Structure 1
Amino acid sequence: MIQQNNNFGNLKQFLNSSLKSHQVLHIALSYNKISDENASGLGSGLGKCNNLSNLTLDLGANQIGAQGASDLGSGLGKCINLQNLTLYLHYNKIGAEGASSLSSGLGKCTNLSNLIFYLGNNQIGEKGASGLGFGLGKCINLSNLMLELHENQISAEGASGLGSGLGKCTNLSNLTLDLLKNQIGPDGASGLGFDLGKCTNLSYLSLYLLFNQIGDQGAIGLGSGLGECINLSNLKLYLSQKQFIFICFGL
Structure 2
Amino acid sequence: MEKNSQKKMENQIDDEGALGLGSALTNCINLSNLTLNLGNNQIGVIGAIGASGLGSALANCINLSNLTLCLDRNQIGDKGASGLGSALANCINLSNLTLELRGNQIGAMGASDLGSALANCINLSNLELYLLNNQIGDEGASGLGSALANCINLSNLTLYLNGNQIGDKGASGLGSALANCINLSNLTLCLGGNQIGAMGASDLGSALAKCINLSNLTLDLNRNQIGDKGASGLGSVLANCINLSNLTLNFGGNQIGAMGASDLGSALANCINLSNLTLWLGQKQFICFGL
Q: In the alignment, what sits opposite 1:87?
A: 129
TM-score by length of 2: 0.79
Provide closer, same or farther for how the CA distance between residues 156 and 19 of structure 1 changes in structure 2, counting only shifts above 3 A: farther
Q: In the alignment, what sits opposite 1:7?
A: 35
| AA partner of residue 104 (structure 2) | N
Relative contact order (alpha carbons < 8 A, sep ≥ 6): 1 or 2 greater?
1
**Stretches of structure 2 lacking an aligned partner (at least 5 in a row):** 1-27, 39-49
Q: CA offset at residue 21 of structure 1?
A: 4.3
* Structure 1 residues 63-142: aligned runs within 5 Å: 63-142=105-184
C-alpha separation between the residues in 2 aligned to 1:70 and 1:240?
A: 33
Q: CA offset at residue 20 of structure 1?
A: 5.4
C-alpha separation between the residues in 2 aligned to 1:37 and 1:24?
A: 24
| AA partner of residue 242 (structure 2) | T
Worse-matched range after superposition: 140-149 or 89-98 = 140-149
CA deviations 1:63-84 (Å, max 9, x no partner) are: 0001111111110122232110
> Which of the numbers 237, 240, 243 marks the counterpart of 2:279?
237
CA deviations 1:214-251 (Å, max 9, x no partner) are: 2222112212221121111111111149x999xx9xx9
Pair 1:202-2:230 in alignment? no
Q: CA offset at residue 22 of structure 1?
A: 3.2
Q: CA offset at residue 133 of structure 1?
A: 0.4
8 Å contact from structure 1 (residues 110, 138) kept in 2: no
Aligned-residue sequence identity (percent) comes to 60
Q: CA offset at residue 46 of structure 1?
A: 2.3
Worse-matched range after superposition: 165-174 or 91-100 = 165-174
Q: CA offset at residue 96 of structure 1?
A: 0.5
| AA partner of residue 34 (structure 2) | N
CA deviations 1:119-147 (Å, max 9, x no partner) are: 10001111111111012111111111111
| AA partner of residue 232 (structure 1) | L
**Stretches of structure 1 lacking an aligned partner (at least 5 in a row):** none
C-alpha separation between the residues in 2 aligned to 1:88 and 1:172?
A: 21
8 Å contact from structure 2 (residues 167, 194) kept in 1: yes
| AA partner of residue 6 (structure 1) | L
Runs of 4+ in 1 over 4 A off after TM superposition: none
Q: In the alignment, what sits opposite 2:15?
A: none
Provide closer, same or farther for how the CA distance between residues 68 and 240 of structure 1 changes in structure 2, counting only shifts above 3 A: closer
Work out which of the two has the higher radius of gyration on C-alpha atoms and give 1 or 2.
Answer: 2
Q: CA offset at residue 161 of structure 1?
A: 1.6
| AA partner of residue 16 (structure 1) | A
* Structure 1 residues 211-250: aligned runs within 5 Å: 211-240=253-282
